[in-house]
Structure 1
Amino acid sequence: MDDELGLKLGQISIVDAEKLIIDIKEKEVRYSAEECNRRIFGKVIGDKKLNWLGMKRTMGLLWRMGNALEIREFSNNYFQFLFPNQEALEKVDMGRCWIFENQYLILQPWPSFNDLTVWVQAHGVPINWMSSDVGLKIGMAFMDIKNLMLAKAGFKGSRILRLQVSLDVRKPIPRWTSIRLGEKIVTVQFKYEKLVSLCFYCGILGHMDKNCPIRKEAIAKKDLKDGQYGEWLKATEGVNISESPPPSTTSEPITNKSNERNIKVKSR
């Protein structure tokens, strides 16, 4: 029960009609329950309002459903995707990093939109420290690590670790972390693949500098500082990066099975 409503109920008298508990039957919610099994929710992480009709056309083509896909906008940049059946829904990779009109689109089976899955490159790890164990420890800088890729020695990008991680979109993205072996400490810089909609002032995804509430507050207080984030956080090189797919409405992990070892990671 809502806290405010609970407080009010504790302060007022309740008449007989308000004490009534109305029973509902399984068959009366069957249709809604079945529809929920065919539905996912989406949130656009960005400050530009999207045209849901354009999204319906684009996502319908990408998911090969055409007009069978229904999209309903229930709030600003919040959407419901209704699929014709459970099988069609299961074909959609909700763990994938989707991008629509240069903004992130988070898909969830229920509207909890704080987690975004992205690919990050870890630069600066000494070649003799390269291992899956070290990669997993570097991944501790993030909310969760889902996947890890090590380039084989001798290939371009063999000094780069690629991590598939979860970001909390309410917080600034990590720019670096430090690792230590004995008395030697090394700073590892993070570069994000297909990074969009990053505020260079506060480091939070979903808006640009001019719309940053933290920056606006700093201006009002006459305490504006230089931004601590920038283009240097975008990955421009890596393992066979020149062979990656061209930018499009969607983003998918860049992989080359001949040059990388893929280590699946269990969620913490």
Structure 2
Amino acid sequence: MKQTLASLWHPTLGMTVKDLQGGLYVFQFFHEVDMNRVLDMCPWTFNNQLLIIEKVVGCRHPSKVPLFHVYLWLQVHGLRSGFMSARCAQRIGNDVGEFVSVDPNNFTGLCRSYMRVRIQGDEWFSVTFCYEHLSTYCFICGLLGHRERFCPKLVERSKVPLQQLYGPELRAVSR
């Protein structure tokens, strides 16, 4: 894993990786530009498993850093032209999760049929959401980390046929 990620991230001034056990690793970059690039390009996966990455701030021990969220890019399809704005992107981002940033290319004149929003009016209309680089995902319960075959709801409701509430349309097509 260490070698694969180092070759993907290609840090200019290098990096070290320390295994803290229990699936917890510390990636130390020798330049802030390299660290910020890796954080900006989240989410990352290894062996089809989502990597939850967070910056260690201050003198905290890395095992004390809360790893509860992941940064994702959300594509919003079907927006009317008047709603393709940074303000609308922020509102949508906060409704779906926690707004982090908006793709600056949304408003540069590129011909794109969707708007990208980074997450953590009078008239109603529907839009479609697609998540970029969505990792292992269960279409039954909607949680990351397992597929339908291993869903806990299969055990809970083994006698009743389960309905797929989520589908592959949640995955954005690679750009």
- Same fold, TM-score > 0.5, yes or no: yes
Conserved 8 A contact 1:151-1:160? no
Q: Does 1:228 align with 2:174?
A: no
Structure 1 counterpart SS, 2:26: strand
Q: Does 1:147 align with 2:101?
A: yes
- Selected match of 2:3 from 53, 57, 64: 57
Higher strand share: 1
Gaps of 5+ in 1: 1-54, 167-180, 242-268
- Selected match of 2:85 from 127, 131, 154: 131
- Between the aligned partners of 2:2 and 2:73, the Cα distance in structure 1 is 26
Aligned to 2:16: 69
- Between the aligned partners of 2:11 and 2:79, the Cα distance in structure 1 is 41
Q: Deviations over 1:29-76 (max 9, x none)?
A: xxxxxxxxxxxxxxxxxxxxxxxxxx12212333449x962331511x
Structure 2 counterpart SS, 1:116: coil
Aligned to 2:24: 79
- Say if 1:129 and 1:95 are closer, same or farther in 2 by CA, change over 3 A: closer
Q: From the CA coordinates, give the structure whose radius of gyration is larger.
A: 1
Structure 1 counterpart SS, 2:133: coil
- Selected match of 2:129 from 185, 190, 194: 190
- Between the aligned partners of 1:91 and 1:209, the Cα distance in structure 2 is 36
The number of residues matched between the two structures is 161
C-alpha displacement at 1:133, in angstroms?
Answer: 1.5
| TM-score, L = length of structure 2 | 0.78
- Selected match of 1:209 from 124, 140, 148: 148
| TM-score, L = length of structure 1 | 0.53
Conserved 8 A contact 2:11-2:34? no
- Between the aligned partners of 1:208 and 1:89, the Cα distance in structure 2 is 36
- Between the aligned partners of 2:124 and 2:15, the Cα distance in structure 1 is 55
- Say if 1:90 and 1:156 are closer, same or farther in 2 by CA, change over 3 A: closer
Query: For residue 4 of structure 2, what is the amino acid of its counterpart?
Result: T
- Say if 1:122 and 1:72 are closer, same or farther in 2 by CA, change over 3 A: same
C-alpha displacement at 1:152, in angstroms?
Answer: 4.1
- Between the aligned partners of 1:132 and 1:90, the Cα distance in structure 2 is 25
Q: Deviations over 1:74-100 (max 9, x none)?
A: 11xx222253xx735773233531222
Percentage identity across paired residues of the two chains? 24
